[in-house]
């Protein structure tokens, strides 16, 4: 015997249409928002959401996530970090090539940086060397092109590229991109990479087997029997240390903007060095007094000022 079922009432159809419309609008709004965002901004926003656990709990005691990768002829380090500065301030400070020289000179191995005459793209002439005072003729040259690949109210992407480096290294890349966060801070991604040929690979491996044999990065590979972490070494350790140094330089530069201009250099130098000393196993190289004296001289040389006594 067949059962008889009454057709749905008009009110039922009305409710169904309302629910379907609401669901469609929700999906449409999400898709439209994602479509309205630049591809880089959307990807960085997605990365920010996925890294929440790592930013909240890590070995750095600050909201940072760092990783690295190595291939047969290239090495790359990435840092994702929350900065305690509003996006407008970060955008204004770091989308100028001249400001980048103020950032880069903080790194221990940067001996000189000057913006070239060109504008499209801008160029940064850098000299890199050892961790002590050096004459410029004893340093290595790196010529970066500087491009602002994207610059909006809620995203920017800066690329620094150098085709050639010291001892058969090449394809140096520094990328910085940033987005604002809902709580008024900025989320950044800093990437540092370069490629190397046979001569540079031999030289780097020789260094890592001798003077650099005790150098390590930040990635924990495993733990020893006593519970102490075993950190990555070799080329990955090298790129992780330098990526962290560049991140600390960006943070130090931004932190000094609130101080009077005459005091900003000293504030940046102090902040950068103190930041490296938070991770002495990886980043301690020289005493604070030696670093400050060296950088004051290098900054004066870079800006054509009288070298401090």
State pLDDT tens for residues 198-211.
888 888 888 888 87
**pLDDT tens per residue across span 229-274:** 999 999 999 999 999 999 999 999 999 999 999 999 999 999 999 9
C-alpha–C-alpha distance, residues 172 and 193, integer Å: 6
Regarding the domain with residue range 41-304, which homologous superfamily does it belong to in the CATH classification? Answer: START domain (3.30.530.20)
pLDDT for 7 beyond 60: no
pLDDT for 20 beyond 50: no
Average pLDDT of every residue of the chain: 87
Q: Which two tokens stand for residue 5?
A: 């079922």
**pLDDT tens per residue across span 30-41:** 333 334 455 799
253 compared with 214, residue with greater pLDDT: 253
Q: Which two tokens stand for residue 85?
A: 């500065």
Q: Any alpha helices (H) in 51-197, and if so which ranges?
A: 52-56, 87-94, 97-104
pLDDT for 27 beyond 80: no
pLDDT for 88 beyond 90: yes
Which pLDDT band, with edges at 50, 70 and 90, does 304 fall under? confident
C-alpha–C-alpha distance, residues 82 and 64, integer Å: 7
C-alpha–C-alpha distance, residues 163 and 143, integer Å: 8
Averaged over 93-104, what is the pLDDT?
A: 95
pLDDT for 25 beyond 70: no
Whether the CB-CB separation of 231 and 218 falls below 8 Å is answered with yes
Averaged over 118-129, what is the pLDDT?
A: 88
Q: Which two tokens stand for residue 63?
A: 């909201």
Averaged over 7-19, what is the pLDDT?
A: 43
Domain ranges of the chain: 41-304
pTM, rounded to two decimals:
0.85
- Amino acid 147: pLDDT: 94
- Amino acid 8: pLDDT: 44
- Amino acid 37: pLDDT: 52
- Amino acid 170: pLDDT: 94
Q: Which two tokens stand for residue 122?
A: 């801008």
Averaged over 77-85, what is the pLDDT?
A: 98
């Amino acid at each position: 015997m067949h059962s008889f079922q009454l057709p749905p009432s008009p009110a039922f159809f009305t409710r169904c249409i309302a629910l379907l419309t609401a669901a469609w609008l929700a999906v449409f709004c999400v898709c439209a928002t994602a479509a309205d965002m630049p591809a880089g901004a959307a990807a960085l926003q997605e990365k920010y959401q996925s890294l929440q656990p790592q930013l909240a709990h890590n070995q750095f005691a600050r909201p940072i996530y760092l990783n690295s990768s190595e291939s047969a002829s290239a090495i790359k380090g990435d840092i994702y970090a929350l900065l305690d500065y509003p996006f407008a301030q970060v955008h204004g400070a770091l989308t100028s090539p001249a400001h980048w020289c103020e950032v880069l000179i903080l790194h221990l191995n940067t001996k000189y940086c000057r913006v070239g005459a060109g504008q499209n793209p801008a160029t940064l002439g850098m000299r890199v060397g050892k961790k002590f005072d050096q004459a410029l003729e004893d340093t290595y040259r790196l010529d970066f092109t500087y491009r602002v690949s994207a610059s909006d109210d809620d995203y920017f992407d800066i690329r620094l590229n150098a085709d050639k480096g010291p001892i058969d290294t090449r394809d140096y890349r520094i990328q910085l991109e940033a987005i604002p966060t809902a709580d008024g801070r900025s989320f950044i991604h800093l990437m540092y990479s370069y490629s190397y040929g046979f001569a540079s690979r031999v030289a780097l491996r020789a260094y890592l087997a001798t003077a650099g044999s005790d150098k390590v990065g930040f990635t924990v590979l495993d733990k020893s029997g006593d519970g102490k972490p075993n950190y990555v070494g070799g080329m990955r350790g090298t790129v992780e240390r330098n990526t962290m140094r560049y991140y600390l330089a960006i943070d130090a530069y931004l932190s000094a903007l609130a101080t009077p201009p005459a005091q900003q250099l000293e504030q940046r130098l102090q902040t950068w060095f103190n930041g490296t000393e938070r991770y002495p196993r990886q980043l301690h190289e020289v005493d604070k007094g030696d670093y400050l004296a060296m950088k004051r001289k290098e900054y004066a040389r870079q800006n054509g000022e009288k070298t401090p006594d």
